[in-house]
Amino acid sequence: MLQRTLSIIKPDAVARGLQGEILAMIQASGLRIAAMKMLRLTEAQAGAFYEVHRERPFYGDLVRYMTSGPVVCSVLEGEDAVAAYRALMGSTDPAKAAEGTIRRKYAQSVQANAVHGSDAPETAAREIAFFFSQTEIVG
Ligand code: UDP
Ligand code: MG
């Protein structure tokens, strides 16, 4: 099923100049980039984006990290894009991420793990609308 998902190249990866290499991996996997923008999240925006984790012990640190520098957000489109991109990213913990995944290659820690990807089609719809208007998604 043709589907869309939200990708974020997180501050640790942008700070190391890895956006080009990560986007190349995304495109090589067959996912199409349907929208893209670079921005720096405010504390309120990062807090709202990760609202689901508000009660978790790592929430405050996560919001600080996600606001520490610019991020590159994109909408990816393809067959089963949500699961396909989760597979390409690898596990949240880079130590557990499979060989050939973005996180295995580029993540520095469980927190600074280079990329975000939506975890379900409903989440993807909400996360895409968080960053992009209809007219910013092309093709
Ligand atoms: N995170 C963290 N500590 C943890 C678990 C998660 O700092 O123990 C951060 C990490 O950046 C992760 C994000 O919170 O990517 C969201 O966590 P989630 O469990 O949703 O992982 P993901 O969906 O990104 O793989
Ligand atoms: Mg998640």
Per-residue pLDDT tens digits for 84-116: 999 999 999 999 999 999 999 999 999 999 999
CA of 139 to the centre of ligand 1 (A): 31
Distances 110 to 24, 80, 84, 107, 113 between C-alpha atoms, Å: 23, 25, 21, 8, 6
pLDDT at residue 139 greater than cutoff 90:
no
For domain 2-136, say whether CATH 3.40.50.2000 is its number: no
CB of 92 shorter than 6 A to ligand 1: yes
Query: Cβ(62) to ligand 1 under 6 A?
Result: yes
Is any atom of ligand 1 closer than 6 Å to the C-beta of 116? yes
Amino acid type, 124: A
In this predicted structure, what is the pLDDT of residue 21? 98
Confirm whether 53 is a catalytic residue.
no
Task: Give the number of the ligand closest to the Cα of residue 56.
Answer: 1
Beta strand 71-79 with 32-39 is antiparallel
- pLDDT, the chain, mean: 98
Q: How far is ligand 1, taken at its centre, from the CA of residue 36, in Å?
A: 22
Residue 127: which pLDDT band, with cuts at 50, 70 and 90? very high
Percentage of the chain surpassing pLDDT 70? 100
Listed by start position, the domains of the chain span 2-136
> Ligand 2 centre from 119 Cα, in Å?
6
Tell me: pLDDT of 36 over 90.
Answer: yes
pTM higher than 0.95 for the full model? Answer: yes
